[in-house]
């Protein structure tokens, strides 16, 4: 089957070359109207984009074959990840391909802001001079406050240290050790705002970072502070920048990113302020960064489309574990057990517990996703995968609980699904016996051993002579061969569970013939073929 990828937003042409080497067809459409994109997106298994394309639920509704959205860059705020997840579409990015370029751009902006470079260039080019007007400030011995000491924040710190700046950072998710290693003092946000001559932000736009700098925090800012934003528009409240400058609190601002790109008319008015310098989202726009992110995303998408690995995936931890040899057999076991449970659970059941033992405790999250995928695969029309299984389950009101058990008396690594009290079969456990050999080992406390494969007939019966003969002769009369069987019982003459692997699928009439047998109850037919 040929795979098709659509490259949007001026993604570097090397992206198409990498796909070609991997025998994947890539169409490059740097400029495409939304209406046309909606018309053609259905043809593609993957799309690659930068910050110029917005992927929302509406666009996704046209993307019938889409499996992967690849961001050639870092920020994924232009992608509706929950909508992609519910559609089972993997979202991935290239977290470090443009780090250096963006850090360099930030450092350039800091110096340009300190020395009024863009404004003075404009003046000279328009035939002026004005040396006095463009008097600048040294950055040496000034304090640079960095909000977000991640990849870019760290590279900015290392570079500006060489300019002789004192460095402060605020990042609740980094460590003292990391800050110390790069010579940065880690402080609280208010402390940083009050001490910084320059402030640069390197975080995503989140509820916490939105409007981090606005008139509301004017009192906390060191007077004369200069602001730089090469991260995301909206971390500084755009409409408050000019008032902050006019009040003499902020000496200038350097912006590369905006809440709306390109900016709205009002925002363009703000940007005309002579103390504000601006670039059109150029942080990652270097030949080197674009080549790196293009090669990275093309390789990542190719690997993922070929199910080789899922590096860079953002919306599914589960899928990224799929190439881990240790977990793979248990994922298969979990999915098969989920399929069995989905076929024996009562209608409207919605309360499930999953119990993990041994190695399975390490991977409980992905195993629960795999169970849910198996359970739901026969009930939901949309294609369920590891990315969206949990979403569908929760949407359907499933109440899920996971427990990790330290050990089991019989099996080291076990998965148990509890289907609730209203179920005819309440609890079912399975284990891995060898490569491709997955077996049910216990049903409702009855020890049993049955390979999870093919077509399974399961029933409860009275433990008395002739029961198995009755079932097997009924099957034989209908030309149904038994491939394997397993019996479990409470004790002599009490209740028993029988599971039979039959050589072909059973139709309703054939199943009826088993229901009707005396002493046989709770008949279930499970298809794993
Ligand atoms: N202008 C441009 O062209 C580019 C912009 N970016 C943007 O730069 C930003 C940073 O990118 P990276 O350094 O690669 O990301 P990263 O994930 O390596 O670093 C982000 C850091 O922000 C910290 N953080 C998160 N919330 C915070 C909060 N409320 N307060 C303080 N710190 C917080 C995190 O702990 C992390 O250390 C992203 O928004 C990204 O989209 C990235 C590349 C190019
Ligand atoms: O990687 C990011 O987060 C960026 O902001 C870069 O955006 P771009 O790929 O240059 O449109």
Residue ranges of domains in the chain, CATH in brackets = 4-97+288-319 (3.40.50.720), 99-278 (3.40.50.720), 320-527 (3.30.1330.90)
Identify whether the C-beta of residue 321 lies closer than 8 Å to the C-beta of residue 363. Answer: yes
Q: Is 528 exposed, middle or buried (0-12, 13-18, 19+ CB in 10 A)?
A: middle
Cβ contacts of 179-182, under 8 Å, gap ≥ 24 = 179/149, 182/154, 182/157, 182/158
Scanning 325-441, the segments in alpha helix (DSSP H) are: 328-344, 364-376, 389-395
pLDDT of residue 529: 74
Which pLDDT tens digit goes with each residue over 48-83? Answer: 999 999 999 999 999 999 999 999 999 999 999 989
d(C-alpha 506, C-alpha 454), whole Å? 11
The DSSP result for 325-338, as a single string, is TTTHHHHHHHHHHH
Residue 409: band (very low, low, confident or very high) from pLDDT cuts 50, 70, 90 = confident
Nearest CA to ligand 1 atom 4: 283
Region 500-512 average pLDDT: 91
Residue 440 pairs in a beta bridge with 430, 450
Starting from the edge strand earliest in sequence, which strands make up the sheet with 351-357, in order?
A: 399-405, 351-357, 414-418, 427-434, 437-443, 446-451
| Position with higher pLDDT, 116 vs 318 | 116
Region 220-241 average pLDDT: 98
C-alpha 106 to ligand 1 mean position (Å): 13
Is the shortest distance between the CB of 186 and ligand 1 below 6 Å? no
CB neighbourhood size of 184 (10 A): 24
pLDDT of residue 467: 87
In the predicted model, is pLDDT for residue 415 greater than 90? yes
Region 219-235 average pLDDT: 98
Closest CA relative to residue 296, chosen from 74, 30, 76 = 74
Q: Could you identify the atom of ligand 1 that is nearest to the CA of residue 95?
A: 14
Identify whether the C-beta of residue 414 lies closer than 8 Å to the C-beta of residue 360. Answer: yes
Region 186-192 average pLDDT: 97
Token reading at 293:
């992110």
pLDDT of residue 423: 84
> Best substitution site from 11, 235, 281 to test ligand 2's pocket, by max atoms within 8 Å of Cβ?
281
**Secondary structure (3-state) at 520:** strand
C-alpha 29 to ligand 1 mean position (Å): 28
Identify whether the C-beta of residue 450 lies closer than 8 Å to the C-beta of residue 428. Answer: no
Is the shortest distance between the CB of 75 and ligand 2 below 6 Å? yes
Is the shortest distance between the CB of 51 and ligand 2 below 6 Å? yes
Token reading at 16:
């198409």
d(C-alpha 501, C-alpha 504), whole Å? 9
CA end-to-end span of the chain: 23
Scanning 222-280, the segments in alpha helix (DSSP H) are: 238-246, 265-271
Residues with a catalytic annotation lie at 232, 261, 281
In the predicted model, is pLDDT for residue 268 greater than 80? yes
d(C-alpha 488, C-alpha 443), whole Å? 8
d(C-alpha 377, C-alpha 362), whole Å? 25
Is the shortest distance between the CB of 41 and ligand 2 below 6 Å? no
Is the shortest distance between the CB of 74 and ligand 2 below 6 Å? yes
φ, ψ (nearest 5 deg) of residue 90: -80, 135
> Best substitution site from 48, 284, 290 to test ligand 2's pocket, by max atoms within 8 Å of Cβ?
284
Q: Write the ipTM.
A: 0.99
pLDDT of residue 422: 81
d(C-alpha 163, C-alpha 144), whole Å? 11
Closest CA relative to residue 230, chosen from 189, 280, 181 = 280
d(C-alpha 36, C-alpha 29), whole Å? 11
C-alpha 204 to ligand 1 mean position (Å): 5
Identify whether the C-beta of residue 402 lies closer than 8 Å to the C-beta of residue 105. Answer: no
d(C-alpha 9, C-alpha 435), whole Å? 45
In the predicted model, is pLDDT for residue 254 greater than 90? yes
C-alpha 404 to ligand 1 mean position (Å): 35
Residue 290 pairs in a beta bridge with none
pLDDT of residue 38: 98
Region 111-132 average pLDDT: 97
Region 501-519 average pLDDT: 91
In the predicted model, is pLDDT for residue 360 greater than 90? yes
Q: pTM for this structure? A: 0.84
Is the shortest distance between the CB of 155 and ligand 1 below 6 Å? no
**Secondary structure (3-state) at 477:** helix
Region 33-49 average pLDDT: 97
d(C-alpha 46, C-alpha 9), whole Å? 14
Residue 462: band (very low, low, confident or very high) from pLDDT cuts 50, 70, 90 = confident
d(C-alpha 520, C-alpha 509), whole Å? 16
In the predicted model, is pLDDT for residue 382 greater than 70? no
Q: Could you identify the atom of ligand 1 that is nearest to the CA of residue 77?
A: 41
> Best substitution site from 74, 76, 257, 280 to test ligand 2's pocket, by max atoms within 8 Å of Cβ?
74
Residues contacting 436, CB < 8 A, separation 6+: none
C-alpha 77 to ligand 2 mean position (Å): 10
Is the shortest distance between the CB of 279 and ligand 1 below 6 Å? no
d(C-alpha 55, C-alpha 79), whole Å? 5
d(C-alpha 255, C-alpha 263), whole Å? 12
Which pLDDT tens digit goes with each residue over 471-490? Answer: 999 999 999 999 988 988 87
**Secondary structure (3-state) at 41:** helix
Residue 381: band (very low, low, confident or very high) from pLDDT cuts 50, 70, 90 = low
**Secondary structure (3-state) at 242:** helix
d(C-alpha 442, C-alpha 429), whole Å? 5
The DSSP result for 58-114, as a single string, is HHHTT-TT--EEEESSS--TTB-HHHHHHTT-EEEE-TTTTHHHHHHHHHHHHHHHH
Residue 131: band (very low, low, confident or very high) from pLDDT cuts 50, 70, 90 = very high
**Secondary structure (3-state) at 245:** helix
pLDDT of residue 493: 66
Nearest CA to ligand 2 atom 3: 75
Which pLDDT tens digit goes with each residue over 277-288? Answer: 999 999 999 999
Q: Are strands 482-489 and 495-502 parallel, antiparallel or unpaired?
A: antiparallel
Nearest CA to ligand 1 atom 25: 203
Is the shortest distance between the CB of 203 and ligand 2 below 6 Å? no
C-alpha 257 to ligand 2 mean position (Å): 9
Scanning 81-222, the segments in alpha helix (DSSP H) are: 81-86, 99-114, 117-125, 151-162, 176-181, 189-195
In the predicted model, is pLDDT for residue 298 greater than 80? yes
Residue 127: band (very low, low, confident or very high) from pLDDT cuts 50, 70, 90 = very high
Is the shortest distance between the CB of 99 and ligand 1 below 6 Å? yes
pLDDT of residue 346: 82
Q: What is the mean pLDDT of the chain?
A: 94
Residue 289: band (very low, low, confident or very high) from pLDDT cuts 50, 70, 90 = very high
Token reading at 402:
């996971």
């Amino acid at each position: 089957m040929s795979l098709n990828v659509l490259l949007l937003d001026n993604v570097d042409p090397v992206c198409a070359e990498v796909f070609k080497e991997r025998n994947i067809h890539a169409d490059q459409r740097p400029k495409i109207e939304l209406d046309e994109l909606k018309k053609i997106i259905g043809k593609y298994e993957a799309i690659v984009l930068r910050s110029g394309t917005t992927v929302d639920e509406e666009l996704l509704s046209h993307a019938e074959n889409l499996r992967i959205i690849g961001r050639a860059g870092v920020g994924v705020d232009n992608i509706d990840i929950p909508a992609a997840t519910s559609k089972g579409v993997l979202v991935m990015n290239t977290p470090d391909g443009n780090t250096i370029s963006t850090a360099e751009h930030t450092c350039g902006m800091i110096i340009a802001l300190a020395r009024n470079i863009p404004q003075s260039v404009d003046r000279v080019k328009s035939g002026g001079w004005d040396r006095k007007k463009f008097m600048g400030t040294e950055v040496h011995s000034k304090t640079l406050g960095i909000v977000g000491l991640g990849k870019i924040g760290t590279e900015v710190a290392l570079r500006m240290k060489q300019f002789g700046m004192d460095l402060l950072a605020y990042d609740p998710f980094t460590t003292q050790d990391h800050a110390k290693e790069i010579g940065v003092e880690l402080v609280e946000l208010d402390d940083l705002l009050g001490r910084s001559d320059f402030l640069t932000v390197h975080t995503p736009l989140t509820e916490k970072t939105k409007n981090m700098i606005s008139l509301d925090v004017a009192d906390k800012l060191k007077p004369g502070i200069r602001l730089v934003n090469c991260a995301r528009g909206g971390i500084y409240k755009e409409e408050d920048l000019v008032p902050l400058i006019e009040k003499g609190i902020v000496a200038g601002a350097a912006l590369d990113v905006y809440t709306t790109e390109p900016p709205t008319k009002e925002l363009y008015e703000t940007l005309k302020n002579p103390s504000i310098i601006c670039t059109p989202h150029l942080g990652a726009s270097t030949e080197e960064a674009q080549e790196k992110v293009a090669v990275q995303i093309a390789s990542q998408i190719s690997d993922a489309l070929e199910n080789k690995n899922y590096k860079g995936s953002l919306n599914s931890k589960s899928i990224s574990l799929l190439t881990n040899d240790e977990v793979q057999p248990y994922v298969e076991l979990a999915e098969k057990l989920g399929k069995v449970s989905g076929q024996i659970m009562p209608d409207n059941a919605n309360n499930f517990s999953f119990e993990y033992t041994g190695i399975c405790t390490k991977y409980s999250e992905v195993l629960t996703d795999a169970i849910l995928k198996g359970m739901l695969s026969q009930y939901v029309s949309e294609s369920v995968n590891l990315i969206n299984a949990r979403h569908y389950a929760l949407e359907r009101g499933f109440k899920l609980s996971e427990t990790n058990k330290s050990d089991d008396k019989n099996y080291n690594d076990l998965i148990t699904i509890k289907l609730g009290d209203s179920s005819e079969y309440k609890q079912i456990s399975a284990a891995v016996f060898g490569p491709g050999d997955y077996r049910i080992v216990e049903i409702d406390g009855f020890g049993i051993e049955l390979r999870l494969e093919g077509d399974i007939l399961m029933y409860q019966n009275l433990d008395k002579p002739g029961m198995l003969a009755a079932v097997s002769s009924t099957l034989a009369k209908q030309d149904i061969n038994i491939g394997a069987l397993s019996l479990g019982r409470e004790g002599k003459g009490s209740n028993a569970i029988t599971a039979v692997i039959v050589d072909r699928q059973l139709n309703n009439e054939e199943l009826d013939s088993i229901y009707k047998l005396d002493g046989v109850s709770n008949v279930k037919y499970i298809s794993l073929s």
